[in-house]
Amino acid sequence: MITGMHAIVFSPDAAKVREFFADVLNLRSVDAGGGWLIFALPPAELAVHPADGEGRHELYLMCDDIQATLAELRAKGVEVARDVTDQGWGLLAAIRLPDGGEFPIYQPRHPTPWQTGPRPEPPGIPADRGPPRGPGAVPPARP
């Protein structure tokens, strides 16, 4: 079964972007050999949206507080490439990578599979049965 997600950022200046991920975003990494770093990511989610014409894939960073996160990144010298806009589903901005590319970042307003609190039971599965959802999920205590 699926055990994770491997995303790839292609860059004309991969060394600078790797350094940015390590030193600015503070992402842990392992060396897969020859200096090829693979970074650990926080929990992720995957959505599938309809497309007009050919499909495409997008990658976004997520945060709990867009203004605080952007302030922290600015203090580290990161350029905000696109200011915050309210998209309804979340507050969206973009930061500039060292190679000049943009990396979108947003504060979700939509439900996420990683939210805490009681989880709803899916239809057809009694409250006392069914597997926990999500990696490492622990079923909530029952009264």
- pLDDT mean by block of 10 residues, the chain; 143 residues: 83 94 95 89 89 89 95 97 96 96 93 63 43 40 43
String of b and e for 1-23 (b: at least 16 CB within 10 Å)? eeeeeeeeeebeeeeebbebbee
Instruction: Name the amino acid, one letter, at 76.
Output: K
Three-state SS letters, 126-142: CCCCCCCCCCCCCCCCC
Whether residue 138 is contained in a domain is answered as no
User: Is 9:17 a contact under the CB 8 Å cutoff?
Assistant: yes
Whether residue 76 is contained in a domain is answered as yes
Q: Around Cβ 91, how many Cβ atoms within 10 Å?
A: 19
Whether residue 141 is contained in a domain is answered as no
Whether residue 28 is contained in a domain is answered as yes
Residue linked to tokens 């597997």: 131
- The number of folded domains in the chain is 1
Q: How far is CA 109 from the centre of its chain?
A: 14
* CATH code, domain with 27: 3.10.180.10
User: Is 63:105 a contact under the CB 8 Å cutoff?
Assistant: yes
- Residues with Cβ within 8 Å of 78's Cβ and at least 6 positions away in sequence, in order, are 24, 95, 96
Whether residue 95 is contained in a domain is answered as yes
Residue 3 pLDDT: 75
User: Is 17:11 a contact under the CB 8 Å cutoff?
Assistant: yes
Whether residue 114 is contained in a domain is answered as no
Which range marks the domain in which residue 21 is found? 14-42+57-108
Whether residue 31 is contained in a domain is answered as yes
> Which stretches within the chain are classed as H helix?
14-23, 66-75
Whether residue 4 is contained in a domain is answered as no
Residue 118 pLDDT: 52
Please give the Cα distance from 94 to 103 (Å, whole number).
5
